[in-house]
A and B are shown apart, each in its own frame.
Chain A
Amino acid sequence: MLRTVKPRNARSKRAMEARQPKEVEDPRTCVFVKGTHTGEVVNNAMKELMALKRPDAITFNKKNDIHPFDASSNSQASLEFWSQKNDASLFLVGQSTKKRPNGLTFVRMFDSRVLDMIEVGVDKFVSMAEFKTPKSTPGNKPLLHFASDLFETHPRFSQLKSMLISFFNGETIESICLPGIEHVISISLSPTPQTLNTAIASADLPTTTPEDLSSLPKVHIRSYTIKLKASGTRIPKVDLIPMGPFLDLSLRRHTPPDPELLKQALRRPKLKKQDVEKGLGKKRKNFEVDEMGDLRGRVHVAKQDLSKLQTRKMKGLKSQFDEDDEQEAGGDDDVEMPMEKKQRTS
C-alpha cells in the first residue's frame, strides 16, 4: 500500500489530480514485466507488443519473481503495488518455463486490484523486422478485427476479446480522422473444433482440463498497415500490407473476473444533458437534430375550436340578438350574459 501524500506544490498536485478517477478514462497504461526466465521469443514478443502499445507502456528492466496464477506467492500484492506506483492498470507478464514455454500473461486491474488474467502461449512469432514494409506511427489507434463466432459465444474467447480491446484500443473517443488510421490488428481463430460446437450447444460450462485446453482453437494475431487507393466512391479501396508482429497463440490458464468486482467495473456514468439531446440514452419523443446540428422539436396541438374564437365585439353579434335562439330561450340569456363576462375578465 502506498502512503497517501499531500501535494506540496502545484505541479505535484496536478500530477496527483491526473491520477484521480475520471468519468471518461484515458487509455490503460500497460506495464511489461519479465518473469524469472524469459526466452528470446517472449522477449521479442513483449518488445513488439510494447511497440504497438506505445506511448502507454512501461517496461521493467529487471527480472521479477512473479507468478500471477500462483495464489500462494505474493505476486498479486506485487501487481497491485506496481499498479498504484505506476498508475497502470494492465500488465503483460512474460515467463517461460519447461512446463509452459513462452507464456504471456495479460493481467487487467480495476481500482488497483486484479480483475482478470489470461495466459497465452506463443507458438509462433514473426517479428516486425522480418517484413521490410512501412510501420505505423507509435501511438496511432489501430482498427481491430476479430474473426470467429467464438468471440461472441465462448466465454474464454469473449474474455480474450475484451482483454485485447482493453490492450490495444480501450479508449472512448468521439471522432477520428479516417485517413489517419494507419494499421489494422486482426485477431482470428483456427476453425472451431467439433467438440466445442457440441459442448456449447449442450452446456455452456468452461472447464479447464488440459485436454480441453488443447481442443481450444488457436489465436492468430496479425497486424497490417493500411494503404488507401482512390476508388471513385466515398469508400476508398483498402490495401493491407503486412507489418508485423505476427503471433500464433494458444490459450492456457485464466482467471475470470470476480463478479462483484466486475459489476463495479462495468458501472457507467450518467449520460450528460448534451448527450441526451444528441439522442443517446433515453429516447426523447418528437426531438430530432437536423443536418445543421440544430435541435428541432415537433409540437402537437389539438384541433382548435373555431366556434369559440373571440372576434370583434359588436352589439349586434351578441347572442341575445340571435334570431333563432330568441324564441327558445328568451329570458335566460339576460341571466347568463353577465356570468360569461365575468369569466373572461378573470
Chain B
Amino acid sequence: MDVTNILSSIQNGVNQDELDDGNYILDPGYLTVTNTEPIDVDLYKCILSQTKTSTNISNKTLETLPKSSYGALFSLPTTSSPDGPLAILPPPALLLPREKPLPKPKEPTKWEKFAAAKGIQKTKREKKVWDEEKQEWVARWGWKGKNKEAESQWLHEVPANADADHDPRKVARDERKARVAKNERQRLQNLAHAAGPSGDRKKEIDRTLATTRVSTASMGKFDRQLDGEKKPRGIKRKFDPAEASAEQEKKNALTLLSQMDSDSRKMRSGPLTKEEGVLNVRKAIRSASKGQGGVALGRKLDSSKRKSRR
C-alpha cells in the first residue's frame, strides 16, 4: 500500500469537511472528541519508522486529528464577552463517576413541615418596619430595633394591681429574651432531629436495662439471674457517716418515728374492733368473688336466689 499520498494529504492539513462525521463522537461538555476510526496499521508503522529516524516523536496523524475537535467547538453557539467569544457548552454526554456523593437535601424544620402540610406560603419579612411616631423606617430587630421599643420607652403603663417592685422594663425585656431562648431551643431541636437518632443506642439500652433491674418490688434483690448476667456497673452504695452529731441523730430518729406514726403509712388505723375480728373483709370478698369485687358477687347472689324461687 502506498502511504505517501495519505501522508502528504495529512501534512497539507485535512479539511474539516473531508473528515467523515460518522467516525467522531464529540463531547463538548468535557472538551473531548473520540475518533472511532480504527488506526491504520500501515500508516502507524510508517509513522513509527519516521519517528525512529527523527529525534522528534511527534507523529503527524496524531497532530492533525485533534484539529477536527477544535473545528467542532467553533460551531457551538456563542455569547460575546470582553475576552472574546464564549462557547456555550452543552452538558457532558459521558457519565463520569462523581468525586463525592450527592449533597443531601436539608431536613425541613418542624415549622416547615407544618407549613407544607397546611399549605402556608412563606412570605418575605422586611428587615425594616415603618415607625408611625418617628415617621421613618426602623430595624425590626437589632440595634435600635422595633422589638426593643417596650423596653426603651420613657413612660410605662403600670397595671393597678402591680407589686411595688414591678419593673415594666424588666418584664418586657424578659419576654423578649424568652422568645429568643425559645427560638434557639427550637433551632437546636431541629438540628438534633435532622442529625437523626444518636449513635449511642447501646448506651441507651444499657441504661434502660440497669433501670429495669432495680425496678421490681425487691429492687432486684430476689430476681432470677440469667446466665452470663453481669453485675450492674457504676452503682455505688451510699452510707451515712458513722459518726453523726447528737443533733443529727436525734433528728433522724424523730423523722423515722413520725413517719411510722403518720396516717399515710399506717395499714390499720387502730387496734382491731370486735366487728372486724380477725376477718379481713376486703380480702374475703376478693376471694369469694374470685377477684371480681363485691358488686359482681352481689349480682351473682341475686340471680341464684331468683333461680331457687322458680
Which residue numbers of A lie inside 8 Å of B, CB to CB? 20-23, 25-26, 28, 89, 108-111, 115, 124, 126, 131, 141-149, 151-152, 161-162, 165-166, 169-170, 172-181, 184, 186, 188-192, 217, 220, 222, 224, 226, 234-238, 240, 242, 246, 257, 262, 264-269, 280
| CB proximity of B41 to chain A, nearest CB, Å | 4
| CB proximity of B20 to chain A, nearest CB, Å | 13
Let me know if B31 and A265 touch, CB within 8 A: no
Closest residue of chain A to B92 (Cβ to Cβ) is A172
Which A residues are in CB contact (< 8 Å) with B31?
Answer: 141-144, 169, 176, 181
Which B residues are in CB contact (< 8 Å) with A25?
Answer: 98-100
Asked if B40 is at the interface (CB within 8 A of a chain A CB), the reply is yes
CA distance A26 to B98 in the complex (A): 10
The 7 closest A-B pairs by CB, nearest first: A265-B97, A145-B66, A21-B100, A242-B58, A89-B99, A144-B32, A191-B41
Which A residues are in CB contact (< 8 Å) with B56?
Answer: 131, 242
CA distance A266 to B63 in the complex (A): 33
Asked if B116 is at the interface (CB within 8 A of a chain A CB), the reply is no
Interface 1/0s, chain B 85-126, versus A by CB < 8 A?
111110110111111111100000000000000000000000
| CB proximity of B98 to chain A, nearest CB, Å | 5
Asked if B35 is at the interface (CB within 8 A of a chain A CB), the reply is yes
Extra contacts besides A145-B69, A165-B32 (15): CB < 8 Å: A25-B99, A25-B100, A110-B97, A141-B31, A148-B38, A165-B94, A169-B30, A172-B30, A174-B89, A176-B86, A188-B39, A188-B65, A192-B39, A234-B75, A238-B67
Asked if B81 is at the interface (CB within 8 A of a chain A CB), the reply is yes
CA distance A179 to B74 in the complex (A): 10
Closest residue of chain A to B84 (Cβ to Cβ) is A179
| Chain B interface size, under 10 / 10 to 19 / 20 to 34 / 35 or more | 35 or more
Asked if B188 is at the interface (CB within 8 A of a chain A CB), the reply is no
Which B residues are in CB contact (< 8 Å) with A142?
Answer: 31
| CB proximity of A182 to chain B, nearest CB, Å | 12
Which B residues are in CB contact (< 8 Å) with A238?
Answer: 67, 70-71
Let me know if B100 and A111 touch, CB within 8 A: yes
Let me know if A146 and B32 touch, CB within 8 A: yes
Asked if B141 is at the interface (CB within 8 A of a chain A CB), the reply is no
Let me know if B74 and A234 touch, CB within 8 A: yes
CA distance A197 to B103 in the complex (A): 43
